[in-house]
Amino acid sequence: MANPAFDVRRLPGFGTVAILTLALLYLPIVMLVVFSFNEAPSQSTWGGFSLKWYEAAFNNRQVIEVSIRSLWLALVAAGISTFLATLAALATTRVGRFPGQTMIYALINQPLMVPEIVTGIALLIFVAFLKVQTGYTGMGYLVLAHTAFCIPFAYLPIRARLETMDLTLERAAADLYATPVKTFTYVTFPLLVPGIVAGFMLGFVVSLDTVVITEFVKSAGQDTLPTYMLGQLRRSITPEMNAIATLFLALSLVVVSLFFLITRKRG
């Protein structure tokens, strides 16, 4: 019997799987957050609401120290990589094919393609060599490694913005006798700002999440929040870890939501 309301888009059971998938994606994270507020030191039995694990985290000097280092590193690496990616994006968009283009794209995207463990040990070897040769053991290596890793992430939204920008505005500026520098300062750059901000945010989140590369590049006493957490996961765990993870999650969530809002407005 023909059904007039027959929906060709519907496939039975698919909606159920979709909702189940979403639940599976969020359930572990939600549990993690819930038990960070647990009075009892357990991941499974509820002992009442408490903020004591947050208090413990904030009173843990090592946690504060590695968190500040992580934030500092993410800001610096995202800042430098966004600057470099902006220059690179300006040079590689709105031009026809030019010699060396494929090589440039391959280089920029290399950190996305090579497994992190391979990049990690490659940097370990290289940094070990540099340390012996120069005697320098500071944060410079981590800044360099994170900057290189963040460049493709910063580059993508900036390039996307440049490619969708209205060229007629720049042409109008040139028609009105604006110099190339003035056109860039008053027309191109203001239009590009959302892309640059998005690129910076993506770079910031990526640097903040990077654990494998940091693990292999860092010298003694240069733990970041993720490498500190990785070390703790191999020992016994208290809900203090849940509290730290929850705060970390909250920060990532804020940055990612802002990123979505900025890139969506572009329309």
Partner 1 sequence: MNRSTHGWKWLLVSPALLVLVFAASGPLLIVAVYSFLSPGNMGGVAWEFSTEAWFRVFFKRDIFEPENVALNADFLAVFQRTLWLSFQTTVICALLGFPTAWFIATRPPHRRMIWLFLITVPFWTNLLIRTFAIQELIRNNGTINTLLQWLGITSRPIDMMYTDFAVLMGMSYVFLPLMVLPLYAAMEKLDFRLVEAGYDLYASRMQVLRHVILPLVKPGFIAGSILVFIPSIGAYVTPSVLGGGRSMMVGNLIALQFGQGRNWPLGAALAMLLLVVVVTALIFYLRVTSRETGERHG
Write down the least CB distance from residue 65 to partner 1, Å: 18
Q: Which CB atom, from 187 or from 217, has the smaller least distance to partner 1?
A: 217
Write down the least CB distance from residue 112 to partner 1, Å: 10
Write down the least CB distance from residue 5 to partner 1, Å: 13
Nearest-CA neighbor of 226 among 236, 217, 215, 237?
Answer: 215
Q: Which CB atom, from 68 or from 87, has the smaller least distance to partner 1?
A: 87
Q: Which CB atom, from 187 or from 229, has the smaller least distance to partner 1?
A: 229
Q: Which CB atom, from 123 or from 173, has the smaller least distance to partner 1?
A: 123
Write down the least CB distance from residue 16 to partner 1, Å: 8
Write down the least CB distance from residue 202 to partner 1, Å: 9
Write down the least CB distance from residue 58 to partner 1, Å: 18
Per-residue DSSP letters for the chain?
Answer: ---TT--TT--TTHHHHHHHHHHHHHHHHHHHHHHHTBSSS-SSS---B--HHHHHHHH-HHHHHHHHHHHHHHHHHHHHHHHHHHHHHHHHSSS---TTHHHHHHHHHHHHHS-HHHHHHHHHHHHHHHHHHH---STHHHHHHHHHHHHHHHHHHHHHHHHHS-HHHHHHHHHTT--HHHHIIIIIHHHHHHHHHHHHHHHHHHHHH--HHHHHH--TT---HHHHHHHHHTS---HHHHHHHHHHHHHHHHHHHHHHHHHHHT-
Q: Which CB atom, from 41 or from 194, has the smaller least distance to partner 1?
A: 41
Write down the least CB distance from residue 167 to partner 1, Å: 16
Spatial distance between the Cα atoms of 219 and 127, rounded to a whole number of angstroms:
10
Q: Which CB atom, from 26 or from 136, has the smaller least distance to partner 1?
A: 26
Q: Which CB atom, from 187 or from 243, has the smaller least distance to partner 1?
A: 243
